[in-house]
Amino acid sequence: MGTSRLKSRRRQDQGLKWVRIVMAILATIGLIDTGSITLNKWGWIGALSCPGGAEGCDKVLNSPWGTLILGNGSVVPLSFLGLVVYLAVLLMAILPLLPGLSKNKTDLSRKTWWGLFFTSCGMAVFSLILVGLMVFKIQAFCFFCFLSAFISICLFALTIIGGGWDDPSELIFRGILISLAFLLGGLVWASSADPQKTDSIKDLKGVSPPVETQSTQREITLARHLKSAGIVMYSAYWCPHCNEQKEMFGKEAVSELVIVECAVDGQNNQRELCERKGITGYPTWEINGQLESGIQSLKELAIKSGYIDTRKF
């Protein structure tokens, strides 16, 4: 009788509480890490002090792999995705520890452990892809990025150690499926953002690909406003994000913008000006003397430039 009660109690207390606490602490550190990068990218806080040199962090965070383009054309820093995921991990780690939150703690504990396993597994695989990009493609060191990768791998290891898994074979099978899914998805995304992925871009000989979208009057009016306000877009002909930024304006509006070519082999380039301005990533906007790296939505440009009616965007 005593043995059966002991086994029953162990099933109710699935997993190790101290592991959940450690995971919550690591997720909080991850939140601060990715949150700082995101707020910096949005211009809400100043420059970050990056151990190992700010140049490496700027090069990585302003690279083509530093932002995500959503289906509606909105642009968000990749760090924002990390912030959301760390927040989810934090919530899943602490929910079963909160008193009186759920009558069925066993069921909640089991579901959150599986949620933590799937999430941390995907984070670990995707983080390794990002580290590979840093080492082999960008060739720069970013302390914040390596810290996030280290935290992700630790979270994955902790879920395996502390999850109280009854069937290791099921854990391995599901882990392989999740890993393959994130590996394939991550590699496809990394390839699509690679500025050297297509021969057509290599054969442009210093000229950006033509803009194919048509402008509406609102894009043309905004572009004229940006030009009259002295706002400049620094670009490189081979940069896919630069072309995406131009497509957001459309063909007619782009002709109204002030665009400076920074690539050393770009046609009519102003490389020396770009170097004096400290341009390290593309596109970069100079707005009221401040540099804004990465793709900017039309609404962001309208707000930052003091455009009269931002409700149109």
Beta-carbon contacts of residue 254 (< 8 Å; ≥ 6 apart): 211, 215, 223, 246
Instruction: Report pLDDT for 197.
Output: 53
Q: Which residues of 13-46 are buried (b: 16+ CB within 10 A; e: fewer)?
A: ebbeeebbebbbebbbebbebbbebbbbbeeeee
How large a percentage of the chain has pLDDT more than 70?
A: 85
The number of distinct structural domains making up the chain is 2
Query: Which CATH number characterizes residue 87's domain?
Result: 1.20.1440.130
Question: Helices H, strands E: what count in the chain?
Answer: 13, 6
- pLDDT tier at 241, thresholds 50, 70, 90: confident
Instruction: Report pLDDT for 112.
Output: 95
Coil, strand, or helix at residue 284?
strand
Q: Give the number of other Cβ atoms within 10 Å of residue 87's Cβ.
A: 16
Q: Give CA angle at 139 (134, 140), nearest 5°.
A: 75
Instruction: Report pLDDT for 54.
Output: 64
Which range has the worst mean pLDDT, 114-118, 169-173, 193-197, 271-275?
193-197
Instruction: Report pLDDT for 66.
Output: 82
Which range has the worst mean pLDDT, 68-72, 247-251, 277-281?
68-72
- 1 compared with 121, residue with greater pLDDT: 121
Are 73 and 222 members of one domain?
no
Are 173 and 233 members of one domain?
no
In a domain, 154, yes or no: yes
Instruction: Report pLDDT for 198.
Output: 44
In a domain, 174, yes or no: yes
Report the C-alpha gap between 62 and 293 in whole angstroms.
Answer: 6
Instruction: Report pLDDT for 59.
Output: 77
User: What distances in angstroms separate CA 134 from CA 47, 97, 121, 127, 146, one per listed residue?
Assistant: 21, 37, 20, 11, 9
Structure tokens at 211: 């803009």
In a domain, 264, yes or no: yes
Report the C-alpha gap between 194 and 178 in whole angstroms.
Answer: 24
Are 221 and 184 members of one domain?
no
In a domain, 108, yes or no: yes
Residues facing residue 293 across a β-bridge: 284
Beta-carbon contacts of residue 110 (< 8 Å; ≥ 6 apart): 14
Are 109 and 181 members of one domain?
yes
Are 7 and 121 members of one domain?
yes
Are 102 and 160 members of one domain?
yes
Q: Does 258 have pLDDT greater than 90?
A: yes
The last residue of a domain, from among 142, 177, 193: 193
The mean predicted confidence, pLDDT, of the chain is: 85
* Helix, strand, coil share (%) of the chain residues, nearest 5: 60, 5, 30
Which range has the worst mean pLDDT, 42-51, 150-159, 291-300?
42-51
Burial class of residue 128 in the structure, from the number of CB atoms within 10 Å of its CB (0-12 exposed, 13-18 middle, 19+ buried): middle
Chain centroid to Cα 253, Å, comes to: 28
- pLDDT tier at 285, thresholds 50, 70, 90: very high
**Per-residue model confidence as pLDDT tens digits over 77-131:** 899 999 999 999 999 999 998 887 656 778 889 999 999 999 999 999 999 999 9
Structure tokens at 228: 């009259």
Are 72 and 159 members of one domain?
yes
Instruction: Report pLDDT for 5.
Output: 41
Are 48 and 146 members of one domain?
yes
State mean pLDDT over 155-174: 93
Residues facing residue 258 across a β-bridge: 232
Report the C-alpha gap between 218 and 249 in whole angstroms.
Answer: 9
Are 31 and 123 members of one domain?
yes
What residue numbers bound the domain in which 278 lies? Answer: 217-312
Considering 83-87, 241-245, 247-251, the range whose residues carry the highest mean pLDDT is: 83-87
Are 32 and 145 members of one domain?
yes
Query: Which CATH number characterizes residue 250's domain?
Result: 3.40.30.10
Are 118 and 254 members of one domain?
no
Whether omega before 209 lies within 30 degrees of 0, making that bond cis, reads no
Are 96 and 12 members of one domain?
yes
Report the C-alpha gap between 9 and 92 in whole angstroms.
Answer: 22
**Per-residue model confidence as pLDDT tens digits over 190-228:** 887 776 554 444 445 678 888 888 889 989 999 999 999
Report the C-alpha gap between 175 and 308 in whole angstroms.
Answer: 52
The answer to whether 77 and 39 have CB atoms below 8 angstroms apart is no
In a domain, 212, yes or no: no
In a domain, 203, yes or no: no
**Per-residue model confidence as pLDDT tens digits over 31-52:** 999 999 888 777 677 667 777 7
Instruction: Report pLDDT for 196.
Output: 56
Report the C-alpha gap between 136 and 183 in whole angstroms.
Answer: 17
Report pTM. 0.64
Instruction: Report pLDDT for 235.
Output: 93
In a domain, 293, yes or no: yes
In a domain, 204, yes or no: no
